[in-house]
């Protein structure tokens, strides 16, 4: 009996383990403040989990829009190791944060330092996605798209970085769609609309891949972006569709705006079921009502 009780006590997760698990749960739903609060609480407890808690705090800053604070935390952690002993995860997070700060030269040097050690297949996906994202942000679109394509073609799992890669390609395609000019004669406008349709199809392919990776916050962002792009197409049809008769123009505008509502409805499901985010639910419900009102006013 005593041996059984002792075994149960040793198997039960301690307070620090529960707090770190809670921090990771908050990370999955995009609650960076909750993630940091749980990791902070774990940091106050004795044990050998201190560096892990500090890393999670840094990640909460990084993903929560405070890259300077994240870099300061990562640098503090780096100081606890000899240069050659810093964990790969820490080097990768530090490189990611340098990229967020648009310090692409130091970020790339950090990746090369890691590569000299040897990287796992999963890390190859991350490095490829990071390089693709950075190249796009620098305006080197061809290099960025090729790097993302090659990274996503790798067979290693790396679900977070695959989600990041697919999300980047989705938003890139929709940005090009929204900016693609509609002008000229009716044939030119219809050709431009067809090109926009192809860009939307590319984005939909990325959204489908993203949905399979179980990253609800990125999925919600993607659905909101798709809804916005369909609304923009409707606005542009109203603006330049004078060559269509009124009934045809209104039919086409209503059709794309109904698709926009469909993406809002899917976003509502993600916000309610997967994220339990009342703020997102309220915003999406308001957007749905606004789109419905626009359709009814046609």
Residue-range domain boundaries for the chain = 14-105, 169-298
Q: What's the confidence (pLDDT) of residue 245?
A: 94
Q: What's the confidence (pLDDT) of residue 2?
A: 40
- Are the C-beta atoms of residues 179 and 172 closer than 8 Å to each other? no
| Residue ranges of the chain whose pLDDT lies below 70 | 1-14, 16, 47-48
Q: What's the confidence (pLDDT) of residue 34?
A: 85
Indicate the Cα dihedral angle 149, 150, 153, 155, nearest 10°: -140
Structure tokens at 290: 């606004």
Q: What's the confidence (pLDDT) of residue 59?
A: 86
Number of CB atoms found within 10 A of residue 295's CB: 16
Q: What's the confidence (pLDDT) of residue 21?
A: 81
Q: What's the confidence (pLDDT) of residue 47?
A: 64
How far apart are alpha carbons 89 and 273 in whole angstroms? 31
Distances in whole angstroms, Cα of residue 74 to Cα of each of 114, 206, 270, 291: 15, 32, 32, 44
Phi-psi map region of 119: left, alpha, beta (phi>0 left; psi -120 to 50 alpha): beta
Number of CB atoms found within 10 A of residue 214's CB: 12
CATH number of 14-105: 1.25.40
Q: What's the confidence (pLDDT) of residue 6?
A: 35
Backbone φ, ψ for residue 159 (5° rounding): -60, -40
At 99-126, the pLDDT tens digits run 999 999 999 999 999 999 899 999 999 9
Q: What's the confidence (pLDDT) of residue 48?
A: 62
Q: pTM for this structure?
A: 0.84
Distances in whole angstroms, Cα of residue 254 to Cα of each of 35, 102, 234, 295: 42, 41, 8, 6
How far apart are alpha carbons 1 and 96 in whole angstroms? 51
Q: What's the confidence (pLDDT) of residue 81?
A: 85
Q: What's the confidence (pLDDT) of residue 8?
A: 36
- Are the C-beta atoms of residues 165 and 129 closer than 8 Å to each other? yes
Distances in whole angstroms, Cα of residue 104 to Cα of each of 65, 175, 257: 18, 23, 39
Distances in whole angstroms, Cα of residue 132 to Cα of each of 47, 119, 127, 181, 266: 39, 18, 9, 26, 29
């Amino acid at each position: 009996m005593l041996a059984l009780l002792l075994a149960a006590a040793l198997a039960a997760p301690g307070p620090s383990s529960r707090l770190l698990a809670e921090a990771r749960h908050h990370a999955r739903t995009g609650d960076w403040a909750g993630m940091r609060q749980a990791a902070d609480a774990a940091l106050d407890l004795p044990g050998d989990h201190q560096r892990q808690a500090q890393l999670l705090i840094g990640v909460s800053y990084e993903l929560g829009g405070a890259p300077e604070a994240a870099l300061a935390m990562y640098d503090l952690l780096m100081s606890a190791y000899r240069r050659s002993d810093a964990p790969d995860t820490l080097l990768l997070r530090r490189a990611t944060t340098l990229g967020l700060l648009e310090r692409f030269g130091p970020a790339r040097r950090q990746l090369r330092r890691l590569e000299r050690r040897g990287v796992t297949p999963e890390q190859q996906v991350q490095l490829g996605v990071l390089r693709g994202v950075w190249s796009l942000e620098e305006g080197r679109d061809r290099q960025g798209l090729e790097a993302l394509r090659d990274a996503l073609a790798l067979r290693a799992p790396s679900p977070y970085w695959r989600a990041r890669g697919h999300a980047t390609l989705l938003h890139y395609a929709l940005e090009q769609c929204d900016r693609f000019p509609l002008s000229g004669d009716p044939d030119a406008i219809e050709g431009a609309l067809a090109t926009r349709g192809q860009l939307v199809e590319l984005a939909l392919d990325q959204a489908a891949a993203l949905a399979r990776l179980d990253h609800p916050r990125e999925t919600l962002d993607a659905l909101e972006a798709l809804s916005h792009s369909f609304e923009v197409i409707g606005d542009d049809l109203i603006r330049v569709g004078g060559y269509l008769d009124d009934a045809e123009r209104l039919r086409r505008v209503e059709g794309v705006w109904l698709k926009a509502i469909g993406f809002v409805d899917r976003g509502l499901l993600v916000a309610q079921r997967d994220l339990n985010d009342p703020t997102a639910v309220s915003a999406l419900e308001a957007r749905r009502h606004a789109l419905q009102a626009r359709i009814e006013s046609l």
